[in-house]
Every structure is written in C-alpha cells, then in structure tokens.
Amino acid sequence: MKILKADDLDHHGIVAGTIDELNIVEMIDSLVGVSEDEKITTGEAIKAMIINGLGFTNKPLSLTPQFFENCPVEILFREGVEASDFNRFKLGRALDKIHEHKSENIFAYLAGKVIEQEKVESKYCHLDTTSMSVTGKYYEDSDERAVNITYGHSKDHRPDLKQIVLETLVTQDGGVPLICKVWDGNASDDKIFKDRVKSLIENCSDWDDKILIADSKLYSEKNAENLKHLTYITRIPETIKLTNDVIEMAVLKDKWTAVSKIDDLKKYQEFKIEHYSIEQRWCVVYSKKKEEQYKETQSRKIKKEAEAISAELKHLQAERFSCEKDGYKALEERSRKWKYHEYSTKELIIHNKYKGVGKPKKDVEPQKILYQILVKGIRKKEELISKEVVLNSCYVIGTNASDEQSTSLEILNHYKEQQKVERGYRFLKDPLFFVSSLFLKKPSRIQGLLVVMTLALLVYAITERKLRQAIKAAQETLPNQINKPVKNPTLRWVFQMMSGIKRITVETNNIIEYIWLGLTEIRLKILSFFGKGVQSLYSINTG
C-alpha cells in the first residue's frame, strides 16, 4: 500500500455543502455569465473565497492556492479543479466581474433567494454600519461606481488609517444579512440611514409588514418625513432635549415596570409622545449595565473632586482675611463649584495682631484683626449622587408601532436583538477572518471583496441556523468549550470540533482507495445534523 496524498477536510465540507445546497454558485454564474475558456467560473471563485474566509486560518486572499493545497478540492468543487486555479489573478477578475454587474445587487438577489428557500423570518430587520480600516496605497479606479477610500469617523478607533464604510440589514431570525452596501470612508450614519429608509419605502413593496430596528442615528428631524411611512424601533438620541425631559419625568413619576427576562434591563416606563409630527411610544429604560458603568465613572469623579477639595481647603486655611465676610465669601465661592460634596461644619478663628514682638501687655488693643476659616467636615451630596445615577442609567427606546403590533416588553426585546448585526461585524473584523485581505489595490475590488465577505457571513448565519434547528428538532445537544451540553452551540466552536478530519489517498495493486481518519463519534453526530449533500462530502452513507 502506497500513500499518495493526505487531505484535510475538517469543517470545509460543511461550508462547501451548504453553499451547494443554497445554489449560490449557480445563481452567481447565471447573473454574471460563464465563458467557455474559464477553467473555474466566477461563482466557483467566490465559493473558494467564502471557504477560505470561513477557514479561520488567517490566510489572506492572495494565499488562497496555499489554503487549498492540502484540501480535497475535487470534493469541495468538482473533478478537474486544482488548488492553483484559485490564483490571485482569477480571484481579482472574479471581483471585477461581480463589481461590473453591481455586486450589491447580486448580494440582494442571492440573499432574497436564500431567505425564501430557508424560510427565514424577516419581519424584524436590524440596520447598522461599521467602518473597515485599510492600509497601503490604492490606485485610482476608473470605475465611477467605486467607493472613495478616505479618512472618516473610525469605529475601529484608528483615525490614522483610511477606511470604507459597510452598511448591512440583517434579519432578527438568525442574524442573516438581507442587504449590504459599501460607502465612502467619510459617509455619515445620518446620510446612510436616511438613504436606506427612503430606498426601503420606494423599492420594497412588502415593507409595510416589516419593522426596522436601528440605533439613534436613524432618528433625526431630517429623516422624520421618511420614518412616517414605515414602522421602526430605535433609540432616541440623548441630544434631543425632550429625551432628557422624559427621563426626568419617569424618575419623578417613579412608576416602573420591573423586567426579569432581559439581562441588561431592570425596569421601564412607557409614555405616549408626539414628536416630529409622529405619534410614538417612548419607553424609558433603566439599564443595569448603564447603572454599573455610570457608578464606576461617577465614583472616579467623586474621588477626584474629594482630592481637589482637600488640597483647596489647605490653601484656604492658610489664608487670613481682614473681615469675617471675606472669609465666608471665599468659602462659599469655592464650595459653589463642588458638584458632589458640601461642608458640614465650619469654624471662624480670630487672629489678633499686635504691634511689636513678644507677648502683648494686658489691655493693649490689637493693631489688626485677621480671620481664618476652618472646614472640619466634608460630606457627599448623597441625594444628588443617587439622582444622577438614576438619570444616567436611563435611555429611551422609541417606536411608532401600535400596541396591537408590539407590547412595550416586546419592543425592548426586539431592540436588544440589535446585537445580532453587531455580532456580525465582530465576525467580519475577526483577525482570523479574511478582513486582513483588504490589500487589494483597486477600490472597486475592495468593494467587491466586502460584498463577498458579507456573503460569507450569510453562509455562516444560515449554516448556524440550520444546525440549531436540527439539534432542536432532534432534541439533542452538543458539548460546549467546557464540555457542558448546550442546545445552541456557536458554529465557530462546532468548526473547531471538526478539525482533524483527513482523507488519505492510497494505492494498492494499482487500485486507488480512500481512507478516512478523524470521523469520531462526536463529529459523526455533528454531521448527522446536516443534509445529505454535506454528509456525502465526508463519504457518509445516508441510505
């Protein structure tokens, strides 16, 4: 027996199988076309990028051939395909091609078909943006549709780097991206959100049945006219005076409804508000997380002020005043600036100054009388401190949804799910994801790559959703990182558990055979939750 080759399949078969089940390659090729002289199609090149991106090996796009060197490409793709086919020239041309056919429109088409096929609930959709920092020099792109890589407000906290902005709209069900769009690096959330709302109203006939959820950038006077025409849930900006007025009203009213099912929230109050000519419901939310954060911040401020007061009083006590009034005035001027403290006791000490030296004779009048102020007690303004904690532990969630559409508690639950789109951004920015591939020299290719990256996020979200649904249907569990059985494992962890599956190609008496290694009991259990297409890639006989 002669060993010819050892290939690592690991979790890549799950990714490839899911892409095949979703018909992504076929849909891309039908949209952009296939040339007879192509050894691999544009759809297959995009599939390779997705598998690479979800490989979590920190190999950038340019190293895609090396990524597939030890993978069974004939299993992941088809017979006749080789790792060297996925070179940077082919991948670059694939990005050019999808950009020519408007990559964002291609994504919207694919996402729509996938969501329809997988029956993803899209009533509640979350909108957000993130910035992607890039390095290096970029060639001028003749394509007028290419984004402008430039400086802007960096959500990566890297103002020294140029960037581009990515907008996504994802479903609450599974965090599946519906829409993605790449913007110039200096595009503001206000403009992006306003344009998106306008586009949804004009182009999406079914949007009347959906609810848009976004952060405070959605809610502005300029966007108010658009917001009248759809149902939204959003955080109301604290820069609006009415926001703080409503929070103070809630604190004064003190009729809170306790919350036990949402970890971050403690209680809330609802108010009927008309603002920007929109009838709304505003929920003043008391957040446990905000309370803890503000207490830490406030504690530092109180400590800093106490130290400053101590130093200030030493200087005050060293001073001598010509009259009582001046002494008290000096103390009042200083204490007026104290926010968190006040003095509890004060004492006026009289200092007689006599002419000459030595002990003065009896009945001699002092030449001058000076006054010293002593502050013997400093105390915190406990009532003010407590009130400030309450006021700064609150925020306002607003909606124009009717009571019949959503209760207050449902609104708060839906808004808390905004973390799903934020989780997607953390996924895209993970060092092991191919965000590090933003080395491309043409802005149009970077734009195309970001769309492909979001497509990888779509594949990831759908795969995780399918896995969790299958586990739930089978009433089964999988072990988590500490070997505790869970019903909703992350796909990232499941991928790690799949690491170590190999296909060994051997030759015996001129007959080629395959030996599978690493198909342990837990890995076979994981594969049982996927369809026959995925299982067949691992040569599992499903009957």
Relative to beta strand 124-134, strand 211-214 is: parallel
Instruction: Assess whether pLDDT exceeds 80 at residue 134.
Output: no
Q: What is the pLDDT of residue 434?
A: 52
Q: Pick the closest to residue 458 from 60, 163, 155, 109 (CA basis).
A: 109
pTM, 2 dp: 0.85
Beta carbons of 133 and 154 less than 8 angstroms apart: yes
Q: How confident is the model at residue 381 (pLDDT cuts 50, 70, 90)?
A: very high
Q: What is the pLDDT of residue 495?
A: 93
Residue-wise pLDDT tens digits, 75-103 = 999 999 999 999 888 998 999 999 999 99
Return phi, psi of residue 263, to 5°: -55, -45
The residue whose two tokens read 């344009």 is 195
Instruction: Assess whether pLDDT exceeds 50 at residue 435.
Output: no
Residue-wise pLDDT tens digits, 463-503 = 999 999 999 999 999 999 999 999 999 999 999 999 999 99
The one-letter amino acid at 440: L
Q: What is the pLDDT of residue 13?
A: 96
Query: Which residues lie closer than 8 Å to 346 by C-beta, 6 or more apart?
Result: 331, 373, 374, 375, 376
Which is more confident, 449 or 280? 280
Cα separation, 477 vs 329, whole angstroms: 72
Neighbours of 533 (CB within 10 A): 15
Instruction: Assess whether pLDDT exceeds 80 at residue 425.
Output: no
Q: How confident is the model at residue 272 (pLDDT cuts 50, 70, 90)?
A: very high
Q: Pick the closest to residue 170 from 408, 425, 382, 525 (CA basis).
A: 425
* Mean of all residue pLDDT scores within the chain: 89
Six token digits for residue 235: 């955080």
Cα separation, 532 vs 543, whole angstroms: 9
Q: How confident is the model at residue 262 (pLDDT cuts 50, 70, 90)?
A: low
Residue-wise pLDDT tens digits, 186-226 = 999 999 999 999 999 988 877 888 999 999 999 999 999 99
Residue-wise pLDDT tens digits, 323-365 = 999 999 999 999 999 999 999 888 989 998 888 777 777 777 8
Cα separation, 442 vs 147, whole angstroms: 10
Q: Pick the closest to residue 7 from 504, 413, 428, 429 (CA basis).
A: 504
Q: How confident is the model at residue 60 (pLDDT cuts 50, 70, 90)?
A: low
Average pLDDT of the residues in 286-304: 94
Average pLDDT of the residues in 309-327: 92
Cα separation, 488 vs 494, whole angstroms: 11
End-to-end CA distance of the chain: 30
Residue 468 vs residues 216, 475, 477: alpha-carbon distances, Å = 32, 10, 9
Q: What is the pLDDT of residue 142?
A: 61
